Amino acid sequence: MTGMKVCQMNFKNSFVESLPGLSLNQEVSRQAQQTPGVAYSFVTPEKVSHPSLISWSESAAQLLDLDVVKLDPVEFAQVFSGNHVCAGMKPYAARYGGHQFGHWAGQLGDGRAITLAEVVNSVGQSWEIQLKGAGRTPYSRGADGRAVLRSSLREYVCSEAMYHLGVPTTRALSCVSTGDSVVRDLFYDGNPAPEPGAITTRLAPSFIRFGHFQICAFHSELELMTQLVHYVIDQHFPQFKTLQGEYKYLQWYSHVVETTASLIVDWLRVGFVHGVMNTDNLSIHGLTIDYGPYGWLDVYDPDWTPNTTDAQHRRYRFAAQPAIALWNLAQLGEALGPLLGGFQAVEDILTDYQQSFRDQLLSMMGKKLGFQAKMDQRGIELIEGLDRVLRMTEIDTTIFYRQLAELHGLYSEQGEGAGKKDPKTFLEPLRAAFYAEAPSEPALKALVQWLQDYLSWSQTDGTSVEEKVQMMNQTNPFFIPRNYILQQCIDGVAKGDTAVLNKVMMAIKTPYEDSALTREFFKKRPEWARHKAGCSALSCSS
């Protein structure tokens, strides 16, 4: 069935019907409190004054069988602001815990996210619908449960961009302005100020995180954790449903480890930095979840983090993401230990993670460089050499990798003697990637030498220039929603102008294509954005 209106969707509520929860009157349910022994608390969204639809994703709407032609923006805004709860919805906030910046934070939970229901679409897929910024819940810890426009729009755009980039992610259905102000201290410097409020509607098979299991383990709630694991496997991982005992749990945990490894490889492929990889921000589905102070590598810098809260220790910097994922998986494994038969089994699976991640990383880097064959020792040395070379000057990550494909045609035309008379010939296609007008001579010399070695070796794998270029252009994006671009969207929407946002939402649909839609954004971060708030680094304030 297709073409349904919002409240005609096929709702179900398997999470609340399968697991124990807390039901309180609404006044009490909005008070911050510990909720031991339950997986969630029923709570309805708090109403907003003037909900208005800013933008919505057609492809996400189609997942719910919503009529993209007959959509009523008023009805849509009423439901996805939380002002109207459809019959069949049972809104709730989930309880979970987590490690934040390496330290156990205790009970966390959905402090401003409220799940409305799950929807089963016409092809049998189940999607959980969640409002982010919908008001106070028992897990708000004294906060207001709201979200500001800047963070809501950043999550909305980036979720859809990641989907089209081929990176596993939660989806974003819409972004709705609330008509209300939200007070936030953007830089945590004692200067709070009102900002426009907004709500993002996001979709996922479920929003269950590592922290759902950790909170059960911390409070020795083995029965609840067992119920939760059975629910997760039965509803979301049916391939393990018929297995028995510890083997069942081990196979499921191993699958979570594998999909997490694949996710991190994809982050590295497109230059994405999550910014706050706490255990409560990692999905059991191997999805990118909770877009907060994330960022994209402009200048190639593996030690960069977009999160100002993490500026000193850089725990969640770009290059540390694989190790942090492993650490988080170990915390999940420790929580599940009673079901997995002890930590030795967990250690064995995590050893497999390290090998799987390495294999996937080398394969991905090979494709970024245009190699189909498995990376041998020379290929590994080439990758390591590129890392050293790119660190030597300010060079744009996305533009460099995309333009690298053009060198194959140049080399093919000039043959083995290409660049011998003037080695800097190799640099011409790459000049658009340099932030400095004149990189240092040592940096240029090292880069030219690497390019010569790379192009020479690239002739040995037996693939044609056309095949290499196609592979590279399918692996290295032409368009990414850089922070400065997102800030332009936010600034425009705040003034009632959605022109830039509309262009970006069109461009994200074809991120690997050089087209009229994407070329406008194929440029380095402008100098004015180097230190501008929201363009270079962000706080956790949202």
DSSP for 217-232, please give it: HHTT-HHHHHHHHHHH
- Which residue range is the domain that position 122 belongs to? 6-205
Task: Residue 269: name the closest of 354, 370, 169, 165 by CA.
Answer: 165
DSSP H or E stretch at residue 196: strand 193-204
Give 179's contacts (C-beta < 8 A, 6+ positions apart): 48, 49, 50, 51, 52, 197
Residue 370 CA, distance from chain mean position: 25
Residue 390 sits in the same domain as residue 362:
no
Question: How far is Cα 209 from Cα 192, in angstroms, rounded to an integer?
Answer: 31
**Cβ neighbours of 218 (radius 10 Å):** 15
User: Does some domain include residue 374?
Assistant: no
Q: What is the pLDDT of residues 306-343, one digit of tens each?
A: 998 888 999 999 999 999 999 999 999 999 999 999 88
Helices (H), 294-439: 321-335, 337-340, 343-369, 377-390, 397-404, 406-414
Last residue within a domain, chosen from 181, 205, 229 = 205
Q: CA 178 to CA 167: how far, in whole Å?
A: 30
- Within 44-192, strands assigned E span 52-56, 92-94, 97-100, 103-107, 113-120, 126-132, 171-184
Give yes or no: residues 412 and 476 share one domain: yes
Could you give the number of structural domains in the chain?
3
- What does each C-alpha distance from 23 to 43, 92, 146, 201, 522 come to in angstroms? 8, 9, 22, 24, 51
Answer whether residue 414 is part of any domain: yes
Last residue of a domain, which of 158, 188, 205? Answer: 205
Name which of 324, 332, 238, 235 is nearest 274 in CA terms.
Answer: 324
Nearest to 368 by CA among 477, 522, 518: 477
Residue 239 resides in a domain: no
pLDDT tens over the chain, length 542 residues = 345 689 999 999 999 999 999 998 877 888 999 999 999 999 999 999 999 999 999 999 999 999 878 888 999 999 999 999 999 999 999 999 999 999 999 999 999 999 999 999 999 999 999 999 999 999 999 899 999 999 999 999 999 999 999 999 999 999 999 999 999 987 777 888 999 999 999 999 999 999 999 999 999 999 999 999 999 999 999 999 999 999 999 999 999 999 999 999 999 999 999 999 999 999 999 999 999 999 999 999 999 999 988 889 999 999 999 999 999 999 999 999 999 998 899 999 999 999 999 999 999 999 999 998 788 888 999 999 999 999 999 999 999 999 999 988 776 655 555 545 466 777 888 999 999 877 889 999 999 999 989 988 888 878 889 999 999 999 999 999 999 999 999 999 999 999 999 999 999 999 999 999 999 999 999 998 888 878 877 767 66
User: Measured between alpha carbons, how far is 121 from 286 in angstroms, rounded to an integer?
Assistant: 22
141 and 92: one domain?
Answer: yes
**Domain check: are 409 and 528 in the same one?**
yes
Among 367, 399, 414, the domain boundary falls at 367
Neighbouring-strand partners of residue 127: 119
> Could you tell me if 76 and 22 lie in one domain?
yes
* pLDDT score for 191: 82
- Whether residues 276 and 392 fall in one domain: no
Q: Residue 303's CB: how many other CB atoms inside 10 A?
A: 10
In a domain, 161, yes or no: yes
328 and 261 part of one domain: yes
CB 404 within 8 A of CB 428: no
In a domain, 23, yes or no: yes
Cβ atoms of residues 157 and 488 within 8 Å: no
Distances (CA, A) of 507 to 164, 303, 416, 519, 520: 10, 29, 38, 9, 9
SS3 503: helix
Say yes or no: 324 and 457 in one domain. no
Q: What's residue 541's pLDDT?
A: 64
Task: Determine the pLDDT at residue 188.
Answer: 73
C-alpha 403/C-alpha 398 separation (Å) is 9
311 in the same domain as 264: yes
Residues 189 and 41 in one domain: yes
Question: How would you classify the pairing of strands 193-204 and 21-22?
Answer: unpaired
CA distance 423 to 430: 13
Assess if residue 145 is contained within a domain: yes
> Are residues 391 and 362 both part of a single domain?
no
* The pLDDT value given to residue 423: 66
- With tokens 């594998």, the residue in question is 258
Q: Which has the closest alpha carbon to 332: 198, 422, 210, 165?
A: 210
The per-residue pLDDT for 268 is: 98
Our measurement of the distance from residue 381's CA atom to the centroid of its chain's CA atoms, rounded to an integer in Å, reads: 30
Catalytically annotated residue among 65, 110, 266, 280: 280
User: Could you give the maximum distance between any two Cα atoms of the chain, in Å?
Assistant: 80
Does 266 participate in catalysis according to the annotation?
no
pLDDT at residue 171, rounded to an integer:
98
Q: Which of the 8 DSSP states describes residue 275?
A: S
| Same domain assignment for residues 363 and 390 | no
| Predicted local confidence at residue 205, as pLDDT | 98
C-alpha dist (Å) from residue 169 to 161, 162, 261: 9, 6, 14
pLDDT score recorded for residue 404: 95
Q: How far apart are CA 329 and CA 323, in angstroms?
A: 10
